[in-house]
Homo-oligomer: A and B are copies of this chain.
Amino acid sequence: MPTSLTPIAAQGPKVSRFIAGYWRVNQWNKTPQELLRFASECLELGISTVDHAMVYRSEATFGKALALDPGLRSQLQIVTKFGIKPMGFGELGAQAVNHYDSSGAALIQSLDASLQGLGTDYIDILLVHRPDYLMDVRELAATMATLRAEGKVRYFGVSNFNTHQFEVLQRELRQNVPAGLVTNQIEFSPLHLTPLEDGTLEQCQLNDCRPMLWSCLGGGNLLAPASERHQRIHNALRVVADEHAVAALETIVYAWVRALPCAPLPLLGTSNIERVKTALAAEKIQLTREQWYRIWEASTGHPVP
Cβ of A90 < 8 Å from any Cβ of B? Answer: no
Q: For the side of the interface on A, what is the size category?
A: 35 or more
Contacts of A168 in B (CB 8 A): 202, 205-206
Of the listed stretches A21-29, A32-40, A286-294, chain B binds A286-294
Contact A134 B97 (CB under 8 A): no
Cβ of A71 < 8 Å from any Cβ of B? Answer: no
Q: In residues 202-227 of chain A, which contact B (Cβ within 8 Å)?
A: 202-203, 205-206
Contact B137 A303 (CB under 8 A): no
Cβ of A174 < 8 Å from any Cβ of B? Answer: no
Contact A293 B130 (CB under 8 A): no
Cβ of A272 < 8 Å from any Cβ of B? Answer: no
Per the bound structure, the CA–CA distance linking A100 and B203 in Å amounts to 21
Per the bound structure, the CA–CA distance linking A260 and B100 in Å amounts to 13
Chain B: CB-nearest residue to A93: B290
Contacts of A136 in B (CB 8 A): 261
Cβ of A11 < 8 Å from any Cβ of B? Answer: no
Cβ of A95 < 8 Å from any Cβ of B? Answer: yes
Contact A134 B85 (CB under 8 A): no
Q: In residues 129-188 of chain A, which contact B (Cβ within 8 Å)?
A: 130, 132-137, 160, 162-165, 167-168, 171
Interface hub of A101, A163, A203, A304 (most chain B Cβ within 10 A): A304
Q: In residues 261-305 of chain A, which contact B (Cβ within 8 Å)?
A: 261, 289-290, 292-294, 296-297, 303-305
Contact B134 A304 (CB under 8 A): no
Contact B163 A289 (CB under 8 A): no
Cβ of A199 < 8 Å from any Cβ of B? Answer: yes
Sample 17 A-B pairs with CB under 8 A, ordered by A number.
Answer: A85-B289, A85-B290, A96-B294, A97-B297, A98-B303, A99-B294, A103-B289, A133-B196, A135-B261, A137-B205, A137-B261, A163-B164, A163-B199, A164-B202, A165-B202, A168-B205, A171-B206
